[in-house]
């Protein structure tokens, strides 16, 4: 949907049009759900968190400035709620992308082999996410898992786009290091193995 169309729907919502609210939810549900799923330890909690976010949006819709980026504004409204949830689930946050229910709801590829590899990578990345600092993990969640643009993230976090890109690059490098370390641990032969005995 074009930004102007979304803006028209938002304005109708502000005027009390209930059908417009249904259209707004339908239009924005996918990115909002994916963002919430990034912060929730299970599919059920992702759905509950999504409902809470929309309640907050409805409650604060009168504060939205017409003509600005609605999705970036929606993130700012939801941010405290999502961060609180993220902190509550800090030790289990990787479970959100390990949960089969959530992974199954992500857009699928037409190529079965490619889809299998993509889901495997998601699980590996999710496992490494819990070791990143909170601010860096949030950037990966917003950009790579929730699909937000650099401009949307920059506006939501009140940062220059260049800063977002540099921090995201750092986050990806740290995550890649974590993932590599985890994969190496998986292939190290146990003490006394045949590999060691033949060395």
Task: Outline where the chain has alpha helix (H).
Answer: 3-14, 18-39, 43-60, 70-88, 95-98, 100-105, 112-129, 134-140, 150-157, 161-187, 194-197
Cβ atoms of 73 and 64 within 8 Å: the answer is yes
Instruction: Please determine, for residue 43, whether its predicted confidence score (pLDDT) is greater than 70.
Output: yes
On whether residue 56 sits in a domain, the answer given is yes
Q: Is 179 exposed, middle or buried (0-12, 13-18, 19+ CB in 10 A)?
A: middle
pLDDT for 192 equals 53
> In this structure, what CATH number is given to the domain that contains residue 163?
1.10.1740.10
Q: What is the pLDDT of residues 55-113, one digit of tens each?
A: 999 988 988 888 778 888 887 788 778 777 666 655 444 444 444 444 555 555 566 77
> pLDDT band at residue 24, thresholds of 50, 70 and 90?
very high
**pLDDT of 115:** 67
DSSP line for 94-144: THHHH-HHHHHHSPPPSSHHHHHHHHHHHHHHHHHHTTS-HHHHHHHIIII
Spatial CB neighbours of 79, under 8 Å, sequence gap ≥ 6: 156
Residue 119 above 80 pLDDT? Answer: no
**Structural domain includes residue 33:** yes
* Predicted pLDDT at 21: 93
Which carries the bigger pLDDT value, residue 51 or residue 137? 51
Rounded to an integer, what distance in angstroms lies between the CA atom of residue 167 and that of residue 94?
A: 20
Is 194 part of a structural domain of the chain? Answer: no
User: Within a domain: residue 198?
Assistant: no
CA-based torsion, 48, 50, 51, 53: positive or negative:
positive
User: Which two tokens mark 23?
Assistant: 């259209």
The total of structural domains in the chain comes to 1
Domain with 168, as residue range(s), is 3-187
Residues 6 or more apart whose CB falls under 8 angstroms from that of 54 comprise 25, 32
Tell me whether residue 179 is in a domain.
yes
pTM here? Answer: 0.55
Longest dimension (CA), the chain: 77
In a domain, 193, yes or no: no
Query: Residue 44: inside a domain, yes or no?
Result: yes
Per the domain annotation, does 192 fall within a domain? Answer: no
* Burial (Cβ within 10 Å: 0-12, 13-18, ≥19) of residue 132: buried
pLDDT tens digits along 131-140: 778 778 878 8
**Calpha distance 167→131 (Å, rounded):** 16
């Amino acid at each position: 949907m074009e930004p102007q169309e979304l803006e028209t729907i938002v304005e109708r919502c502000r005027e009390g049009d209930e059908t417009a609210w249904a259209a707004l939810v339908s239009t924005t549900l996918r990115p909002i759900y994916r963002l919430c799923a990034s912060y929730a330890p299970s599919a059920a909690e992702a759905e509950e968190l999504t409902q809470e976010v929309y309640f907050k949006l409805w409650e604060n819709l009168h504060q939205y400035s017409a003509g600005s980026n609605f999705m970036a504004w929606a993130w700012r409204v939801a941010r405290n709620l999502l961060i609180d949830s993220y902190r509550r689930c800090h030790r289990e946050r990787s479970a959100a992308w390990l949960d089969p229910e959530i992974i199954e709801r992500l857009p699928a590829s037409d190529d079965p082999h490619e889809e299998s590899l993509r889901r495997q990578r998601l699980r590996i990345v999710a496992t490494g996410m819990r070791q990143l600092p909170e601010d860096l993990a949030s950037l990966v969640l917003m950009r790579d898992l929730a699909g937000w643009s650099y401009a949307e993230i920059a506006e939501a976090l009140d940062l220059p786009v260049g800063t977002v890109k540099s921090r995201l690059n750092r986050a990806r490098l740290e995550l890649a290091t974590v993932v590599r370390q985890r994969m190496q641990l998986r292939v190290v032969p146990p003490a006394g193995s045949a590999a060691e005995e033949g060395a």
